[in-house]
Amino acid sequence: MATDYQPPVADYAFLYGEAFGTDIVARATGGELTADDGVDIIAGAGEFAASVLAPLEQVGDREGARLEDGQVHLPAGFAEAYAAFVEAGWVTAEAPVSAGGDGLPGSIRAGLGEIWNASNAAFALCWLLSAGQIHALDAAASDELRETYLTKLVSGEWTGTMNLTEPGAGTDLGAIRTIATPRGDGSWSIKGQKIFITWGDHDVAENIVHLVLARTPDAPEGAKGLSLFVAPKYLVNADGSLGERNGVETVAIEHKLGIHGSPTCVLSYEDATGYLVGEVGGGLAGMFVMMNSARIGMGFQATGIADRALQQAEAYAADRMQGRVLERGADAPIAEHPDVRRLLLSIRSDVFAMRALGVYVGDLFDRAEASGDPADLALAEFFVPILKGWATEDAVALTSDAIQVHGGMGFIEETGAAQHYRDARIMPIYEGTTAIQSNDLIGRKVIRNGGATAETLFTQIESTVADLRAAGGEVAARTADRLERAVASARRATADLIGFAGSLRDAHAVSVPYLTLLGVLAGGWMHGLAVTAVAAHTEAHDGDEARRTLADFYGAHHLPRVHALAETVASGETR
């Protein structure tokens, strides 16, 4: 059976207060909050998640969502959990101040995102979609739409969805055929079908706000012809009360490999009432705000699911007795077998790298907003496809390794280990596949500026290498050497990629290996920062030796992938 969830409070205390050389929470909030406050928030969220959300994880997997008489019903306990989530103020806490929320900094939102997903990924998708829509409406909605819809989303009374995909238009949004026709009274009539709509219908909130991409009459072909609309499940009266059901019908829910508690819906729009968000033809730009938010959220989801799988594997391995363990006593559990220990260290070292990178990226966006410096924003945006692509791909591998730790019992649904793998498998696909992320990375963020932003990253890592050398100690020295060699390989790979600019098929054929290379490198950098912070301690702290061990393991087992991937990047497309 699944183990109780333990939130990683100590790691977040280390990340907020030490790993990045300063109290990043205080820096982001001008001292209004500190690292200690951030830890308190994480601890409180962890208690809520462990007691309210985690017990429903397997319930959601077993029962799933069901469609009856045109209404989706969620598993037992989900409605009560959502009401408690809203009552505790978690939706409002993460919403930006400009939208009426509390505006917690990105570093804390990263921790919360991990915790919600680790405890119950299917439930957390509701929060993730609502959070993304809040950002989108905050950026582009009129005052009237903000008053009617945004306020209810920020309070958590209503939830939000993202409506892009259609049967004939998946990745190619320019192929969207849903049509929105003006009625002459400020509203639009929407007609079409959308598929794969996460939390597209449910019974946990009184209204659902759909954010819909549609084509207007006489709009040009392609993405430039798309506009963005708000279409609620229930129409809203002038006094703010709910009116009649809008022309949005749930015609099916998908039967999926995982995340069964999350309703993935097919929605049919038949003369549905919608309201324009932003300008006609500006739909993709408006929706991209929500997509970007969701892609960052996928990085947090990957970290959460991988950590939950790790916790369960560690607990199982600590208790399971099987076979004689080399150079250990007769009472040694399988956790002491060399290869099981390798698997557990591999998962834990990678999870820490993902966790630290999520905090770093969240803080980068805060710094970019505060400084207004285009270079700061460029570095923050640079990491979005890396975090989303690398972390989600690794989460699939890590949850698979967690099954391996269980042996045959991992393949049995009763243990709960398989659920993490099944839930994780969608992450490299939705919100843009890994190839979509890598194409964005190389096209917009590497080749276009001649690798300038990538070089900023490499230079920062080299600064950490210098700090590691100054810190002293065997692990610091090994970490410095390994990072230095990895940066050299990454530079060569970047130069090779830019050299393919005249042969885009070559560049795109190795874009995923290049993204993976940068993700693995960034993970090694996070461990380098951790070793540097530990070296600054004047006396031993709890966890110091464990952090050195994880960094040393990552450097020996994960970081060498950079060199192999660089060779792959240099090859271009195999013909």
Q: How far is CA 343 from CA 123, 335, 439, in A?
A: 29, 9, 31
Pick the catalytic residue: 47, 431, 545, 573?
A: 431
From 384, 359, 214, select the one nearest 296 (Cα to Cα): 384
Distance CA 64, CA 66 (A): 7
Characterise 209 by phi-psi region: left (phi > 0), alpha (psi -120 to 50), beta (else): beta
List, in sequence order, the alpha helices (H) in 89-230.
90-94, 106-140, 143-145, 151-155
From 395, 394, 415, 398, select the one nearest 406 (Cα to Cα): 415
Question: Which positions ≥6 away from 12 have C-beta within 8 Å?
Answer: 38, 39, 42, 111, 355, 359
Distance CA 541, CA 163 (A): 49
Q: Check: CB of residue 313 under 8 Å from CB of residue 405.
A: yes
Distance of CA 273 to the CA centre of its chain: 32
Distance CA 113, CA 123 (A): 12
Question: Which of 120-148 are b and which e, b meaning 16 or more Cβ less than 10 Å from the residue's Cβ?
Answer: bbbbbbbbbbbbbbbbbbbbbbeeebbeb
Structure tokens at 229: 């609309």
Within a 10 A sphere around the Cβ of 201, how many other Cβ atoms? 24
Distance CA 148, CA 189 (A): 19
Per DSSP (E only), the strands in 456-502 are none
Is-catalytic flag, 474? Answer: no
At 126, the amino acid letter reads C
Within a 10 A sphere around the Cβ of 257, how many other Cβ atoms? 11
From 148, 159, 137, 149, select the one nearest 85 (Cα to Cα): 159
DSSP secondary structure letters along 500-549:
TTT-HHHHHHTHHHHHHHHHHHHHHHHHHHHHHHHHT-SS--TTHHHHHH
Characterise 115 by phi-psi region: left (phi > 0), alpha (psi -120 to 50), beta (else): alpha
Residues in the chain: 575
Q: Check: CB of residue 284 under 8 Å from CB of residue 277.
A: no
Q: Which residues pair with 213 in a beta bridge?
A: 228
Q: How far is CA 540 from CA 16, 21, 535, in A?
A: 19, 18, 9
Which residues are designated catalytic? Answer: 431
